[in-house]
Amino acid sequence: MALTKVLIAVKTYPTLSNKYDELVCTAGFLEDGSWIRIYPIPFRKLEYDKQYSKYDWVEVDLEDNASDFRLESHKPKSILTAFNIISHLGTEDSWRIRKEIVLKNVSTNMTELIAQAKDKTKYTSLAVFKPKEILDFKIEKVESEWDKKKLDALKAKAQQLNLFPNSDNPFEVVQKLPFKFSYKFNSDDGIQRTMMIEDWEIGQLYWNCFKRHKGDKNKACEDVKKKYFDDFAKTKDLYLFLGTTREFHLIAPNPFIIIGTFHPKKIVQTSLF
């Protein structure tokens, strides 16, 4: 695929991998509005936060990901491949320029979208989805620590390779979220579904609120719900970015999770009469 221009729209919350340290999945749009997934990206080696932001146009050297059957999936040519930032799309004029790229192909029926994901000629694994109605925002406690075996493997690898010789704290991974956040919604098929949100922004929002409330998890969760339910779901024109995981794409009844939100302001149509 070589040098490719991509509008970054999704950065998932990091997960641990024995092979690549922390991993993130980045997804975005080509200039024609079609989706592309870029994976794996090693979180630490690329100084993730400093490399690129959502809605940056970037150029990156990509190649097909032969280990992934999902057609949208590509990988950087090497683990240290740079993301060259070209420009940034702002939110002027009610996100007009962003909408021109992002909203070219919007799904509204989850049953149809799941069928496309299972269709061997498509294996659709990324989509922009417009829910008919957001019914609730759910918060569930989960394990607050990373898997010990993976953590120990990463520590051993870091020590063996002496990856951080000048660091006072040579091994530090991103904190694992102690909660799972989900939207409950209706789609055009009339079926209620609950789907997990696995997005960098919701993770960062939680930790920022946790810090602001001096370690009060309940208050932090309340603030996350205010943003994602009271604000995004109630006052914004909310779309969901959906994606599948390779592990569960073929076996899960609904392989999709929410990997991001698109939330411009609602445009009020004024009457001509």
Q: What separation in angstroms does the CA of 225 have from each of 36, 212, 239?
A: 29, 16, 17
Mean pLDDT check: name the lowest of 166-170, 198-202, 208-212: 166-170
Q: Give the span between the Cα atoms of 183 and 263, in whole angstroms.
A: 14
pLDDT over threshold 80, residue 142: yes
CB 51 within 8 A of CB 22: no
Domains in the chain, ordered, with CATH?
Answer: 2-99 (2.40.50), 106-142+177-262 (2.40.50)
Closest C-alpha to 26, from 51, 3, 18, 113: 51
- In this model, does residue 262 exceed pLDDT 60? yes
How many CB atoms neighbour CB 243 within 10 A? 23
Query: Do residues 73 and 123 touch, judged by C-beta distance below 8 A?
Result: no
pTM of the predicted structure, to 2 decimals = 0.87
The whole-number pLDDT of residue 252 equals 96
pLDDT of amino acid 145: 75
Query: How do residues 52-79 score in pLDDT, each as one tens digit?
Result: 889 999 999 999 888 899 999 998 887 6
Mean pLDDT value of segment 149-176: 56
CA angle 264, 267, 271 (to 5 degrees): 175
